Structure 1
């Protein structure tokens, strides 16, 4: 048994090296995937540095209300004469931070519970899966509507916490299934035969094998969180204390009449374009990851 585990070390190093070669090969095969990386990097920079680039509060021009797109204002201005591009850039931080916080919480909880349930099975499995089934039956939108009456969600982390606690059930189910498959593999049996602790087996043996699947779930959870929070702000059930894309959509449609007048149309299209581009970037990255981690999908 000792010889088996000792021989796995150079194999893992070689596998890791081959993995990164495969990543570069998959990205180069389709330029659209490189575009996905660029798009995500651009939005990450917007979230980090956007509020630093544009002053707070944003300048207003009372003589340029709903101004048409121009070199000075590529997406025009809003009902207060504020540059729409500046609103999109500064609003990216709330949206993306909420998405990342939601993904981290949902995937971390779901992965932890799924690993424990799938590895231990028995009573642990029954209890945790019943808890997961209960979570999956909770209606997310009605609960969020109720919470908005007592919670203002001023911070993106607060919003991410609630969305994350409402979104871990599906991840837990999927991770449990993966764990049940991996726990019967030879390297797990070898680790058990050596008397290694359960913590070591789960963290050092099982978790790395599930890292690709977990990474894909993180990106998918980010997309779902973006739609959820933007939808809540668009419906007007959350206070407009923070600048974000959902607030822009609400004000453009219900305040500016963007659906009936062309004056506020750029104010409506700018956040929609931002959401579309961010979703496109995530989809392209998930497509690349799917091919990287699924050899059957790789092209010759």
Structure 2
């Protein structure tokens, strides 16, 4: 005769930790939910605010200009057109003939020197386009370097404390006391760098200290929260706790600093090229302004004013786009703001068509009214 289970054994079996799910999720469904939560939902959150939309469009325009634009625009050369052509001059847009099946049709649009030319007859638009790839490379190198270094050092200092904290903070304090621009000028003059990635690293060499101290202050408060204590009690390693629990909570602040660092790289590189400290080995908006000012006195004559103001306008639009885009990144990483936009839907709750909806697919379309 089989013995019956005691009440204690039945209670153990009924604990939630011993209960398995009644349904299983296929790999396709798991992949779809992962894409939904990591790509679709953040993009909808980003797209729900007009400032983020405008910033995203501007940033993507510069990315396309630096990648596809250099392929379709000719490399600027002397004599591309007449000297000092004004923007949108007569004949800037023409339709070239294309032969299709023996029939000649004007179907190939040609934007000929749309923004005019400089003193050598080089197209201003072609110079702006071909200067963009090097600028993107400098932004990626400098902003990523300073942000990554500051995040790693700041989180380690705030989480570990003790000697690690004191050593890192001493190093950051020393870095902050060194004048940034003179240091960059000395290094650039000594090395005469030509590679855009190396220039970006030099420009971002002292930008990490301020963020490092700010991240350390944030980590000091985050490390005492319940979820971090739970991870520590479970015996998780320090790198795992930093990567899974602490750094994601700081991503909103880190993303904003990344945009600020990117703007700083743009301004510093343009200034150093304009002053002639960096060698004129590549096209740059600062080089264009330098040549416009020294060659033709673009600030004092109307016929060449576009030569200096178009690069200035290009820099201003990029800066505005980065600022607006950073506001969208804050909405993605800030859990309080994101919770107002995204409404999770239980996968077990069917929709109007009778099919189950996955989480993160329903996003609020109304804008957040910031208090």
Would the TM-score normalized by the shorter structure come out above 0.5?
A: yes
- Separation of aligned partners in 1, 2:59 and 2:148: 22
> Residues 270 and 63 (structure 1 numbering): CA distance in 2 closer, same or farther, change over 3 Å?
closer
Tell me which residue corresponds to 1:200: 240
- What are the within-5 Å matches in structure 2 for residues 196-235 of structure 1? 196-235=236-275
**Deviation at residue 17 of structure 1 after TM alignment:** 4.0
Counterparts in 2 of 1:29 and 1:215: CA distance versus 1, 3 Å:
closer
Q: Could you tell me how far apart the structure 2 residues matched to 1:73 and 1:63 are?
A: 7
Q: What SS does structure 2 have at the residue aligned with 1:45?
A: helix
Shift in CA distance, 103/63, structure 1 to aligned 2, threshold 3 Å: closer
- Partners in 2 of 1:87 and 1:143 — Cα distance? 29
The match for 1:79 is: 119
* Equivalent in 45, 55, 58 of residue 39 of structure 1: 58
TM-score (norm 1): 0.88
Change (3 A) 1:202 1:257: same
The alignment yields a C-alpha RMSD, in angstroms, of: 2.5
* Greater strand content: 2
- 1:216 and 1:19 mapped to 2: Cα distance? 20
Deviation at 1:213, TM superposition (A): 2.1
Among 71, 82, 95, the alignment partner of 1:64 is 82
Instruction: Give the equivalent residue in structure 2 for 1:241.
Output: 281
**Which protein has the bigger helix share?**
1
CA shift for structure 1 position 62: 7.0
Q: In the superposition, relative to structure 1, how do residues 99 and 18 fare at CA in structure 2: closer, same or farther (>3 Å)? A: closer
Q: Kindly indicate whether the alpha-carbon contact (under 8 Å) linking 1:50 and 1:93 is maintained by their aligned counterparts in 2.
A: no
Bigger radius of gyration, 1 or 2? 2
Report the Cα distance in structure 2 between the residues aligned to 1:75 and 1:104, rounded to whole angstroms: 33
Give 3-state SS (helix, strand or coil) of 2:48's partner. helix
2:48 maps to 28
Single out whichever of 67-76 and 261-270 deviates more from structure 2.
67-76
Kindly indicate whether the alpha-carbon contact (under 8 Å) linking 2:46 and 2:53 is maintained by their aligned counterparts in 1: no
Alignment size in residue pairs: 288
Whole-angstrom distance in 1 between the partners of 2:163 and 2:45? 45
Is 2:173–2:209's contact at 8 Å kept on the other side of the alignment?
A: yes
**1:254 aligns with one of 261, 278, 294:** 294
Q: Conserved in 1, the CA contact under 8 Å of 2:118 and 2:307?
A: yes
Q: Distance in 2 between matches of 1:243 and 1:143?
A: 24
Higher RCO (CA 8 Å, separation ≥ 6 residues):
1
- Choose which of 41, 48, 67 in structure 2 pairs with 1:48: 67
The equivalences for 1:134-283 within 5 A come to 134-283=174-323
Deviations 1:1-39 (A, max 9, x none): x97xxxxxxxxx89x949964762463342x42121111
Provide structure 2 residue ranges, at least 5 long, that are not aligned to the other structure.
1-15, 18-32, 93-111, 341-367
